[in-house]
Structure 1
Amino acid sequence: MKKFISIIASFLLLLVYLPTDSKASELVNYLKEVNVSVHLATSVTLTANGNYQLSNKDTAEITEIPQGTVLTVKKDSSNVNVTFNGTSLNSVTGFDLQEKISSSTSLVRVSNGITYRGSFFLKPNGSKVEIINILDMEDYLKGVVPSEMPASFHKEALKAQAISARSYAANTLMLTSTAASQVYRGYSGEDARTNAAIKETEGMLVKYNGKPIQTFFFSTSGGRTANVGDVWNSKQEHFPYLVSVDDPYESSPFSNWTESFPAETLLKSFGFTDLSAQIYDITLSKTGANGEVRGVTVKTSAGDKTVTGNESIIRNYFPLNNPQLYNKLQTNWFDIQLNGSASQNLSVQTSSGTSAIGDLKGQKVQTASGEVTLSDSKVSIQTANGVMTNEGTGNITSVTLNGKGWGHRVGMSQYGAKGFAERGWTAEQILTHYFQGTTVSK
């Protein structure tokens, strides 16, 4: 009898020390957590298809969310408001929609039309609600890799993309779902081929001197990648692994391109208020190792303007009506061709009188050294009043840009990786080529 009482006492003592709230232990633990901002709107709906609970960040109050529940999230003057199934909850600092352990995959469909894995922070952001997706790194990559690289690419290229995307994310505190960091389309974007590439490279990172680096990538280099110091405001010596390398096997629709811009578009883009002004000349400052443009000078009848900056700034001065290209020039690696006629008041004195000419370029003139042919429309002429210099072609009606590549061209070319992979290169070989002096390991 004493033994039985002792067993009962031990059992009761055990109960005293058991957790009184087991909900925390039911939550999914993300081994390598990433946070991705996926949606920002005044009103958001989320459909929970899985095992979830809602935690008020002000009060820590927990509310169970039944399977299939539709939550409407709004921001009023001071609170985030969540309504569902006749219930209305408020919190100044927002809510956590937390994934709980389940035998099946839990998913949430957001009103941006995309379904995601993981948990969510329903965060106030000004007058709007920001939805931040919280999930494990490997699950995050499943929504990134096929969104950044076609799943039809060679598997070694997909593996290189997976490792590169993992390394980039590991060095970024808050990710977005756009090309501002990495394109992420959640569970909706997943593909079995890229999921396999992610699994085969699980945990692998690109490292320099043993430390993970932020690996940049882009679509197309145009035959050679860029030094980071030639396209961004970065000190090259701080990034010895982001240097220009050959890209010999790249075959892309963006390897070479041509874009034309009418004079009025450029006048507006460069900030001239008089859109009827004549453009006399446009010159490029090509200071990059491969000829990347870091400055543009526009000479007009309304004055001159010079702009300088990194590749993103330069590309935005040449706007495109093409959302696929993010409505800006493909790269800052280009040459310029000026189109138009010279000012109509150009004329020359001949033995038979005055004759109008369309352009000084190509005209033959007599000098003290003999007859020469002008190679440019901009010339200096000795007159009775001194040396006069004209402004060049006079009336440029449009320009044509001939360029190479698509993207910032720093780091790994995705089409280049495809070309290497098709020629037998492994993912590790591809990455250590694009990121010089690095290694690939867990």
Structure 2
Amino acid sequence: MDKLIAALLIVLLFFIPILMKKTIETKQEDVATEEPCTIYITVEGVDEPLPLEEYVLGVVAGEMPMTFHDEALRAQAIAARTYVLRATDRGKKPIEATVSAQVYKTMAERKERWGKEFKRNEKRLRGIIESTEGDIIVYGEEMITAMFFSTSNGKTETAQNYSGSSIPYLQSVESPGEDIVAAEVERRIEMPIADWNKALGSTWNADRFKSLQLVRNQTGRVQKAVSGDFEISGRKMRELLGLASTDFNIAYDITNKIVIIDTKGYGHGVGMSQYGAEAFARGGWTAENIIPYYYSGTKIKKFELDESECLKSPTLANNSK
């Protein structure tokens, strides 16, 4: 009996390390395959919620051409991620897919837009998004409202001039070189006087145009337009007339009864200029240089989300193959 017990002990001593090894390996395997914490973005008009990084890819594709430098695209990715996280309260609310928020392009739309270049562009863009994964812009420790626009008039606009609210990181900065990289900075509209009157909801004649004063702010944009008892903000006038920017000049052709409007820049002018970012990128700047330049006093940090707030999702899939 003693010999039998001794033999059993020897067998157990042999198998215990093996069993322990298998248990440890199983635990390690469980850890390795655990899916990362992420959040989903609900885009209006898109059937299924999207993982954050997949959404950012679609925004960069919608907001910038693929002819842009990698560093400009990286800056756009960081701004887009910051914007959506703040605008949706970290994915809790839906967001529009248009210029009223951020332009988002689905994969089907990207395929249609890029055609034969789809695989190459998709692969390149996924690499760019992955290089910024989780990066957001903060002022102090607070995530910013990362406003951006297409083209400036040589300077960005302040939040104070745009909305009446002063925001420390949305100040005016010089944005040189855009006239070199942008296909079109200055635009002209010729509008029949009937269309002008309909848009503004008032009746204008030659005398009223003669007394028109465009009051400009320190960035060269029209803060308000005044003519007799008529007064309107430059921002509102831009909206009503469908102008490219608030840096505009107005002339009236009496003979042909046409209003001639010349504009400079494209967009509201607040935050990061996309063509300005491209100009800086071509000059050797990285996204890490571009972001704090356009968003004064900010820094880039990794986004942190409490495990209890998020859903489990696979990492950014490579669908370009």
2:262 maps to 402
CA contact (8 A) 1:30 1:135 kept: no
> Within the alignment, does 1:262 sit opposite 2:262 as a pair?
no
Whole-angstrom distance in 2 between the partners of 1:401 and 1:290: 19
CA contact (8 A) 1:247 1:416 kept: yes
Q: Return the offset for 1:149.
A: 0.4
Q: Return the offset for 1:184.
A: 0.8
Whole-angstrom distance in 1 between the partners of 2:218 and 2:108: 41
Q: Return the offset for 1:294.
A: 3.0
> Within the alignment, does 1:241 sit opposite 2:169 as a pair?
yes
CA contact (8 A) 2:243 2:263 kept: no
Q: Return the offset for 1:287.
A: 4.0
| SS in structure 2 at match of 1:400 | strand
Q: Counterparts of 1:61-80 in structure 2 under 5 Å?
A: none
1:193 maps to 124
Q: Which of the pair is proportionally richer in strand?
A: 1
Amino acid at match of 1:286: V
The runs of 5 or more residues in structure 1 that have no matched partner are 1-27, 40-119, 121-132, 319-327, 342-395
Which of 170, 182, 202 is residue 102 of structure 2 equivalent to? Answer: 182
1:200-239 CA-to-partner distances (Å, cap 9, x unmatched) read 00000111112211111111012111111112x2311xx1
Q: Return the offset for 1:298.
A: 4.9
> Within the alignment, does 1:36 sit opposite 2:43 as a pair?
yes
Report the TM-score when normalising by structure 2.
0.71
CA contact (8 A) 2:250 2:261 kept: yes
CA contact (8 A) 2:137 2:301 kept: yes
Q: Counterparts of 1:196-211 in structure 2 under 5 Å?
A: 196-211=127-142
Which of 183, 189, 207 is residue 253 of structure 1 equivalent to? Answer: 183
CA contact (8 A) 2:206 2:252 kept: no
> Within the alignment, does 1:280 sit opposite 2:203 as a pair?
no
Which of 55, 70, 84 is residue 169 of structure 1 equivalent to? Answer: 84
| SS in structure 2 at match of 1:399 | strand
Which of 223, 227, 231 is residue 306 of structure 1 equivalent to? Answer: 231
Whole-angstrom distance in 1 between the partners of 2:207 and 2:125: 52
The runs of 5 or more residues in structure 2 that have no matched partner are 1-34, 89-93, 111-121, 303-321
1:380-431 CA-to-partner distances (Å, cap 9, x unmatched) read xxxxxxxxxxxxxxxx822222221001111111111111111110001011
CA contact (8 A) 2:206 2:254 kept: no
> Within the alignment, does 1:441 sit opposite 2:308 as a pair?
no
Whole-angstrom distance in 2 between the partners of 1:171 and 1:255: 30
1:354 maps to none
Aligned residues: 248
CA contact (8 A) 1:227 1:289 kept: no
> Within the alignment, does 1:332 sit opposite 2:246 as a pair?
yes
CA contact (8 A) 2:213 2:227 kept: no
Which of 118, 121, 137 is residue 52 of structure 2 equivalent to? Answer: 137
Counting aligned pairs with the same residue, the percent is 33
> Within the alignment, does 1:428 sit opposite 2:295 as a pair?
no
1:219 maps to 150
Whole-angstrom distance in 2 between the partners of 1:291 and 1:281: 23
Amino acid at match of 1:413: S
Out of 154-163 and 255-264, give the one that drifted further: 255-264
1:153 maps to 68
CA contact (8 A) 1:315 1:330 kept: yes
1:261-315 CA-to-partner distances (Å, cap 9, x unmatched) read 222211111113x6xx63422324424222322333456xxxx53333x62x221
